[in-house]
Structure 1
Amino acid sequence: MPSAILRSALADPGLRPLPERAARLLEDLDAPPRLAAHLRAVHDVAAELVEWARERHPGLAVDAEAVLFGAATHDIGKVLHPAELSGPGAEHERAGHALLRERGVEERLAHFARTHASWDGLGVGIDDLLVSLADKVWKAKRVPDLEQRVVEALAAASGAEEWQVFMDLDDVCDRLAAGADRRLAFQSAYPVGGTESTA
């Protein structure tokens, strides 16, 4: 049974709720509350990016369900590697992908756990790039090379000039980054472990 603090991290107001399937997985795994809060923060930004991309680039083939589920579960492997919640490490990437697949999550939705930090690799599509971008900009981190990859993908799909796409993406990233303090405070309100007090 999930801890009360985990349930709070999944249900408290302030950020969009996770997709039901992702929330159930976190409950079944009794995930650390801070992880659930982090996933909500990244998912919240991913939802904004998907809405923006649909509005500004309606011809772009974005799998919104995959992007949102990917953002909601990209770090799920940290359930198995909890030291990576507060320190560096990449063990959670493969572990998270394997965990999702073992739990019956199809590859279309599970692969983000493995690829969210590999946005500069071959075969990375716009869905992967949006999850990677959300995982950076939620805390106001700007990564020029990642943003350039997003610009190139959007320009290629829409036929728009890269400079115009860059300006539009820069505007939305600035707007999203402006909410970083609120999202960081939300995440910090929940403990890394499930039995600690949030006070």
Structure 2
Amino acid sequence: MSSLHRALTDPGLRPLPERVSLLLKELDAPPRLAAHLRAVHDVAAGLVAWVRERHPALGVDGEAVLFGAATHDVGKTLHPSELTGPGGEHEPAGYALLRERGVEDRLARFARTHTSWGDPDIGIEDLLVSLADNIWKARRLPDLEQHVVDMLSAASGEPKWQVFMGLDDVCDRLAAGADRRLAFQSAYPVA
């Protein structure tokens, strides 16, 4: 059994959407990348569930968020040095790769938007993928979280302080699993 297959199927985190697992196999993705995508996808599922429960009127596209979390770093298959070091070449490369493989823009966009959460035209789905990409390892970014609070408050009419308290609670709860997710990711080789 290959390391990639194990990274995609080992218990411990939610499985990726089948479409994404097949894509990662076709690309012969690094096992560590597959494990990372599962970790972020797992957190995104928790965020989507929370938003749907607490802010149902917002109508979050949960399918898009989950697909985005599961593919946000797919460009690292083309730029593997960015698996262990800094770099942003994977973002446009991942978007192009997904589009070339027939993935519609509403789902492919997360490969290019997951680090640009400060852009004015970013939607709540993009912010949730960005948030998941940080919370999976217990990294809290106050500016990102404030963008999420502002958007949720504007959509729901709920006071910002109240939205903040709820978001803070769910982020703390999800961040508490960071050690388990980090261990899961590090159990798989980079190449």
TM over 0.5: yes
Counterpart of 2:74 in structure 1 is 76
5 Å-filtered alignment, 1:94-133, equals 94-133=92-131
Shift of 1:31: 0.1
RMSD: 0.7
- Residue 162 of structure 1: which of 151, 160, 173 is its match? 160
Q: Where does residue 63 of structure 1 map in the other structure?
A: 61
Q: Which residue identity does 1:118 align to in structure 2?
A: S
Partner of 1:171: 169
1:13 to 11, 19, 24: 11
Match of 2:27 in 1: 29
Q: 2-side partners of 1:36 and 1:131: how far apart?
A: 16
Query: Residue 65 of structure 1: CA displacement?
Result: 0.6
Q: Distance in 2 between matches of 1:73 and 1:176?
A: 20
Q: 1:128: Cα distance to partner?
A: 0.3
Displacement of 1:61: 1.9
Cα distance in 1, alignment partners of residues 59 and 117 from structure 2 = 18
- Give TM-score scaled by structure 2 length: 0.99
TM-aligned CA deviation for residue 162 of structure 1: 0.3
Following TM superposition, where does structure 1 have runs of at least 4 consecutive aligned residues deviating by more than 4 angstroms?
none
Query: 1:86-127 CA distances to partner (integer Å, 9 max, x unpaired)?
Result: 000000000000000000000010000000000001210000
Q: Give the 3-state SS of the residue equivalent to 2:189 in structure 1.
A: coil
Instruction: Give the Cα separation in 2 of the matches to 1:52 and 1:120.
Output: 22
| Secondary structure of residue in 2 paired with 1:59 | helix
Structure-1 residue corresponding to 2:89: 91
- Count of residue pairs brought into register by the alignment: 191
* Percent identical: 76
| CA distance in structure 1 between the aligned counterparts of 2:117 and 2:165, rounded to whole angstroms | 21
CA–CA separation in structure 1 for the residues paired with 2:177 and 2:66? 19
TM-score, reference length from structure 1: 0.95
